[in-house]
Amino acid sequence: MSDRKNSGPDDRLFRRVLDKLAQNPPELSDPEGLTEEILRAVSGTPPQRSDRKIRYLRPVSGRILVLQRLLAAASVFLLLILGVEQYGILSDINTLERQSKHAGQTIRNPHPYERLRSRKSGNILSEKLTAHLLLKTNSAGLTHQNPVLP
């Protein structure tokens, strides 16, 4: 206890209390009884193999404790993030499903031919198609009929 500074009355009190604690070991009642208890316990316990060593995982070291707590906090944080993300994705999926259902009822997917026909008559592609149909009809020897364009 050489590194203890002796300055004020509080230090003297501190030293006195510590000295009393150090100089007064606790009294062991019935030591013979304890010896017999130990020997009885030992006689029923077979010794373990010499290659097995006692391994203590630093129970008093603060480092592992801090690491454990950090990992626990990180895992809880990750679980929270996972929950929030899942909720967001699920709500997006629900919205999309609702929208697509609604769209399926109102919008028909027209045939490409119908789509072409529905365009304005001035459209080049539409004109080309009309000409192609006419040619096809004539070559088949059918009566000439102009396709009805909208």
Give the footprint of other proteins on this chain (CB under 8 A).
1, 4, 10-11, 13-14, 16-18, 20-29, 31, 34-35, 37-39, 41-43, 45-54, 56, 58-62
The full DSSP string for 46-110 is PPPPTT-------TT-HHHHHHHHHHHHHHHHHHHHHHHHHHHHHHHHHHHHHHHHHHHHH----
| Minimum CB distance to other proteins, residue 53 (Å) | 5
| Minimum CB distance to other proteins, residue 74 (Å) | 23
46 or 122: CB nearest other proteins: 46
Q: Can you tell me whether residue 141 is helix, strand or coil?
A: coil
Q: Can you tell me whether residue 123 is helix, strand or coil?
A: coil
12 or 136: CB nearest other proteins: 12
| Minimum CB distance to other proteins, residue 5 (Å) | 10
31 or 141: CB nearest other proteins: 31
| Minimum CB distance to other proteins, residue 68 (Å) | 14
20 or 120: CB nearest other proteins: 20
Residue reference for tokens 């364009």 = 149
Q: Can you tell me whether residue 132 is helix, strand or coil?
A: helix
Name which of 145, 110, 150, 144 is nearest 126 in CA terms.
150
| Minimum CB distance to other proteins, residue 40 (Å) | 10
48 or 100: CB nearest other proteins: 48
The full length of the chain comes to 150
